[in-house]
Structure 1
Amino acid sequence: KNIRELEGSLNRVVAYADLTGSLLDVELVKRAIDGLADPDEHRAILDYVVVDTVATHYGVDQQALKGRKRDKKTAQARQMAMYLMREDGNMGLTAIGRALGGKDHTTVAYGCDRIKTQLPVDAQLRRDLLKIREALAAA
């Protein structure tokens, strides 16, 4: 539908291949994007579901994601939530900022870009993203 959705699907396929240790082939791609192509199954991801899922995955408090705490674990969790709301939820920067405690749109843009640039080089981050997306799909 748009370039962000296409890029998100590609990231999902690459992360799935990395997590399972499989070579890319047609069957792997079908398993990785199962349900994404069906518009009836596609639904907007609500910000509170993303915050809850990301906080649980990283073991941080939801309020920490919305607060000012800047330790590495909390910052990465917050940036992951920003990235997911933007890429999978198609939310605007201002709306994401509001959902995360009133962050400025430039802070949100930086957080999304940080995750996007780290994904190709950080296997653990790709695994985290895949696990969180699987949890969101089950929610």
Structure 2
Amino acid sequence: DRLRSRFEWGLMVDIAPPDFETRVAILKKKAEKEKIFVPNEVFDFIAENITSNIRELEGALIRLFAHASLSNKEITLEFSKKVLSGLYNKDKKVDITPDKIKSVVSNYFSLKPEDLESERRSSDYVVPRQIAMYLIRDLTNLSLPQIGDIFGGRDHSTVLYSIDKIKKELKKDENLKACIEELTKMLIGD
């Protein structure tokens, strides 16, 4: 009872997403903290395209830092657009549904959408299923348990394993990378 009364006395505040100037300031502070030079036009680009929350904003900048470091490239506006294309398209493309992703992936691999939900464990089914899970996670805001439900009630840990496996393979498998890029273009380009 005492705990409940303390919560009832709490301050109620409506927390709105940060405005453009605040988003730019947050990005500049993060880059300054990491001691990484980022052109102002890149800060503006990120702040214009990622508007939802601070976590996603900082996540985009961290992704940019990582890609620049791993590829040994300078951070430019063009580089940023390429690296972050999946992130800012996600905010603008609300018509990408899990069913659409399953349909595009299954067609690409000459399967039926329901094949992606099956229990079959041959690579003919497993790889497309993992790719579909990866794309749903990347292009929608669904949680791991929600994605698991879409694929025949699979556990969230199975979904996480599938997504991590694709991420790991993307680093070394150029064919998989090309496949994911092509599927993403098919989904976003419609």
SS at match of 2:132: helix
**Which deviations, in whole Å up to 9, do the C-alpha atoms of 1:55-114 show, x marking residues without a partner?**
011112211101111111210000011111112212111110111111111111110010
**Which residue matches 1:119?**
170
Does 2:153 align with 1:99?
no
Q: How many residues align?
A: 127
Q: Show the counterpart of 1:21.
A: none
Instruction: Supply the distance in 2 between the matched residues of 1:106 and 1:60 (Cα, whole angstroms).
Output: 25
Q: TM-score, normalised by structure 2?
A: 0.56
* Larger RCO (CA within 8 A; separation ≥ 6): 1
How is 1:60-75 mapped onto 2 (pairs within 5 angstroms)? 60-75=111-126
Identity %: 28
1:78 aligned onto 2:132: no
Matched, 1:41 2:92: yes
Instruction: Give RMSD over aligned pairs.
Output: 3.2
User: In structure 1, the residue corresponding to 2:106 is in which secondary structure?
Assistant: helix
Q: 1:6 to 1:53 in 2, by over 3 A?
A: farther
Q: 1:2-81 maps to which residues of 2 (within 5 A)?
A: 2=56, 6=60, 27=78, 30=81, 37=88, 41-43=92-94, 45-81=96-132
- Is 1:67–1:101's contact at 8 Å kept on the other side of the alignment? yes
Change (3 A) 1:102 1:4: farther
Q: What is the TM-score when the length of structure 1 is the normalising length?
A: 0.74
Q: Give the counterpart of 1:128 among 167, 179, 182.
A: 179
Kindly indicate whether the alpha-carbon contact (under 8 Å) linking 1:50 and 1:85 is maintained by their aligned counterparts in 2.
yes
Task: Name structure 2 gaps, 5 residues minimum.
Answer: 1-49, 51-55, 68-75
- Which protein is bigger by CA-based radius of gyration? 2
